[in-house]
Amino acid sequence: NTAFEIGTAEFAKNMPEYCGVISKNPTTKAKRYRIEHEEKQFDMAVLERALENARQVAIDHVIDELGEDIQVEHVAEATAGQVILDIRHPDEAEDEPLQLSGIEVQTLPFYALNNRFKELDANRQYLLYCDKGVMSRLHAHHLLCEGHQNVRVYRPASLKSEAGSSK
C-alpha cells in the first residue's frame, strides 16, 4: 500500500478525526472510480515537493504555528457597519443560518473565500465566522498575510444564543 510506503498510513488512518475538526461531512470513504479519476489529474511532482519539505506538527498545534508576526484579532460582538462572512459549508449555513439583529451577514463558503475576498468592498470591515473557529482563523491569517487589513474573526461568547437555530 502506497500510504505505508510513503509514511502517511498513520495520518490516513486518523483522517476522519482531523477532517472532523473543520468539516461537517468529510469524504472518508470515497468511491474508487472518483479516487482514480482525481489521481489521473494529480501532478505527482507537487506531492514529491511536499514530501521533501514535510515536517510533523500535532493537529492541535497547527493554529499555534500560524506565525507570531501576524496576529488574528477575534471579536465577540459585531457592530453596525461590519459584515459577518459566514464561511461555513453552504449546507451548514442553510441548516443553521447565522442571524444577528442589525448586522449584515453574507454567506461566502471557505473554499471560495480567497478568490472572492478581493471583490468585496475594501472599505468595509469583515468578520469571518465558522462554528469551531478553526477555518475562520486560518483564512483570516491567510488574508492578513496577503495584505488585507479589513478582516477579523467573529467568535461570539455564546454561539447558540446569538446564532439561533432553525431546527
In total, the chain counts a number of residues equal to: 167
3-state secondary structure of 129: strand
130 is catalytic: yes
Of 72, 83, 87, 130, which one is the catalytic site residue? 130
| Cα separations in angstroms, 22 against 92, 125, 161 | 12, 24, 22
Contact residues for 72 (Cβ-Cβ < 8 A; gap 6+): 66, 137, 140, 141, 144, 152, 153
Catalytic residues: 130
